Amino acid sequence: MAISRFVIQLVSNARRRIRLLFCIVVAALVLSGCSSGERMVEDALANTDRGLQDLNTAIDQGRVRNATIIKQYVRILKSSRPELAPLLVELENDGTTQGPLFKSLKNRFQGIKDNTEQFPSWKEKHAELVAIANGANLSIYNDALSDTVNVIADLSRGELARVNAVSQEVEQKMNKSSDYGAGSQLIGNPHYGRWSHGSGGSFWAWYGQYAFFSSMFGGRRHYYNDWGRNRGYSYYHDYGRNNYTSRSQRASQRDVDTRARKQFGSRGGYKSPYSKSRTGSSGISRNSTAQQQSLFKSQYAKSSRASKFQSSSRNCGYRTSRGISRGK
């Protein structure tokens, strides 16, 4: 009996040692993973900081082609359509470091750098830094400014040429899209307005400095459900949305989409604006084309891959002109 108890005790002690060793190995692997992740975040911080500084310098030195075109187009259109001057002044800012696109990139980066923006894991922080760095890439940023160039071109009633996109008439035929008037490329872009909620659904409300877009068409409302089915091509929606949308703006977009899905989905007429990409780009850089591959599938679509990433990312718990075409 004594020998039997001794053997049982030995086996029990061995099991406890094995469990302890296993826990130590797992803890070491977790700590190693988190440490490696923190190093990746630090490297991404440095890389993104350099990218933003380089972009700032390029804009100031006039080396961003579409930023230069914006200034030229504004000067021409102020002369031919002086009634548009207040709106053109705002759009001209897009070609400077005071424009909403550049300022948003800087603010998002600063929120990560000073830890005022909190993330569930280092993986999500790293992904946000990569998106900001991509947005600061010179060729991608130049492509992103094509929306503003083309809005000004459309305001010129054909006097000025579109860049990086086919003509308005051709684009509408290609996508069977509706004509939402001048400025339509900016509808749904959170740098220029927001979706306001009403009984008839969410409708687009321009920020005050861009309210002229609304007044030009008698204050006609553009509803999310209709726009989602019939929107045309824009760089922001079809290429740049991941790079040029903050986390809070993404959350707002998901909320608007959820509201519309609940309100109109049962009628069978609901379609997400990001269920598929629209065609109409011309002469977009290779960097932008590569980005588009990861943008569609819709960020609103549920997938097992996304849920697995969200689950695994919490394991460490780390907190803290090319082609130019006539506008008409």
pTM value is 0.81
Task: Determine how many CB atoms are found less than 10 A away from the CB of residue 131.
Answer: 20
**pLDDT confidence tier of residue 220, bands split at 50, 70 and 90:** confident
CA–CA gap between residue 33 and residue 304 (Å, rounded): 23
- Total number of domains in the chain: 1
Q: Is the pLDDT of residue 267 over 50?
A: yes
Whole-number pLDDT of residue 328: 45
Whole-number pLDDT of residue 71: 98
Q: What is the mean pLDDT of residues 49-73?
A: 98
**pLDDT confidence tier of residue 77, bands split at 50, 70 and 90:** very high
Which has more confidence, 317 or 186?
Answer: 186
Task: Determine how many CB atoms are found less than 10 A away from the CB of residue 4.
Answer: 8
Q: Is the pLDDT of residue 214 over 80?
A: yes
Whether 274 contacts 298, CB under 8 Å: yes
Q: What is the mean pLDDT of residues 100-106?
A: 98
Q: Is the pLDDT of residue 103 over 70?
A: yes
Q: What is the mean pLDDT of residues 263-292?
A: 88
Distances (CA, A) of 27 to 31, 32, 315, 322: 6, 8, 11, 53
Whole-number pLDDT of residue 216: 83
Q: Is the pLDDT of residue 1 over 90?
A: no
Whole-number pLDDT of residue 173: 96
Whole-number pLDDT of residue 81: 95
Whole-number pLDDT of residue 310: 34
**pLDDT confidence tier of residue 29, bands split at 50, 70 and 90:** very low
* pLDDT > 90 in the chain, percent: 70
Distances (CA, A) of 286 to 12, 138, 139, 167, 326: 62, 12, 9, 21, 23
Which has more confidence, 291 or 75?
Answer: 75
In which domain, by residue range, is 155 found?
A: 2-326
Which has more confidence, 200 or 127?
Answer: 127
Q: What is the mean pLDDT of residues 142-162?
A: 97
